[in-house]
Structure 1
Amino acid sequence: MGVYHAGSRTVQDRVGVREQADHVGRSVGRGIRDVAAAFLELQPLLVAGAADPSTGRVWASPLTGAPGFVRATGPHRVSVTGPWLPADPLATAFATPGTPVGTIALDPRTRRRMRLNGRLGPTARGFAIEADQVFANCPKYLQKRESYEVVADRRGGDPLRGTELTPGQAEFVTAADTFFLASVHQDGADVSHRGGNPGFVRVDSPGELSWRDYPGNSMFLTLGNLAADPRAGLLFLDWTTGSTLQLTGEAHTEFGPERRVRFTVRETVETPSALPLRWSAPEYSPANPDPAG
């Protein structure tokens, strides 16, 4: 499978960055290098994105564990050890062989991130991913958090499900400095990171969010996926309390003087205290634009 499909090429050509995309795309491979394997084994958090085989809806889900719960077990293979929450929207996908999945490991301590996309294979203790694409991203728009601690007695609350944002969830979204965006295409799935100063995601109504698409690496993997298939999943984290907000719906890009993505909410899952991690306060990226600008 090539790095880019028709959707990404369409966006690259529209923006005029095909040459830059070809240059950046040379860094994408299937192999998991030693430095990438070492990075993965240090992470307590992995975000996975896929389409639920039973509903077709796309979700982004957080997976956590002691460092080493994600590790390379072959030149093109990563193993992930569970458990994850039984009510997670992607629980069925994690147990379905061959499901296309995208993952991102993001380390706020070093402002490094790595993406690995491939296909799932369930294992006795979790699942493995046979990699199709492995690559790193620059630290742009990634907030630095110096440290984290594990809150051993934290237990996830019952998920609150809905079809649009509550007022409290809208506040959660507008206060966020980071979210994760899962998207899919005919041959795979992907998860990307979006970051900015609080307020960079706008709640336009209980059923619609939008955000400015900041300049990035010119690959346009996410916007290319959305051009080919509008299904998408968003994940917001509270880096202090561990609460999560997962959204699924459709997204489309508006091209103009300001490139903007609009997301229509179809289903919501809010889980209080879902993750046992408590991170230190953020130092915002110097690359973040003023959200009011």
Structure 2
Amino acid sequence: MSLDITTISDVEDPRLAPYRDIRERDLVGREHHFIAEGKVVLSVLLRSERFQARSLLVAAAKLLGLMPVLDATKPACPIYCVPQKIMDDIAGFNVHRGILGIGERIKTPTLEEFLASLPEKALVPVLCGISNHDNMGSIFRNAAAFAADGIIIDKTCCDPLYRKAIRVSVGAALKVPYTQGEDIKEILTALEKADFRIYSLSPAASNYLKDAEVAKRTALVFGTEGEGLPDFVLKDTETLRIPIAYDFDSLNVATATGLALEHFADFDKLN
């Protein structure tokens, strides 16, 4: 199958409209689309079985370097090749990576569907109130690195398919299965019914992460920085802490997820 590559030199070309002002007008939530940025992320998108590329926008100077990925994946979507200045004018900022793509969302599984799809032995981070897109992206990257089986995101968290979150995740947001939208109370109840041992990470916990037992099914609950997890979550779950210096407050939540996932990871799945 030949590639559908079109060179465009008119900044007003209507085919470029979906890429216009993407910093202020992120496509997350709009017509079920999202923006993928950079060669690595685009490579993940084009190889994904869960998402589909609708179009690509490539700066002319970057096209040759992207060709191995395009030749390997053979995307059926249109590929628009433009001068770097047009890409920057359209996007509203300097897109130094020179590669953008529009992906189409799929229907996120319900919590019940997500839990039913998990293997008998499973490790799942649970996110409560994570509103920072950098942290969200980093958590997905950690989950992919330590072979977590998926992520549960409560209704108060930000969207993992926000452009910056996908970029920071290095495409892991398009690889790691997740469900989003339930209340944290409902999530904890469902995890208990699914035979998960539930740990919550908190600087105030009395037990240390390094001493925690690895269960067959483990859920790790992480809260937002500052406020942390709600009191009822800490009361209803086993709490763990990561030791840090006495004169310091807490770890970044993304760092905490990396340390916790490494402790509970199934090393048969790792290099």
Q: TM-score when scaled to structure 1?
A: 0.24
Question: Would you tell me which structure has more strand in proportion to its own residues?
Answer: 1
Question: Would you tell me which structure has more helix in proportion to its own residues?
Answer: 2
Larger radius of gyration: 2
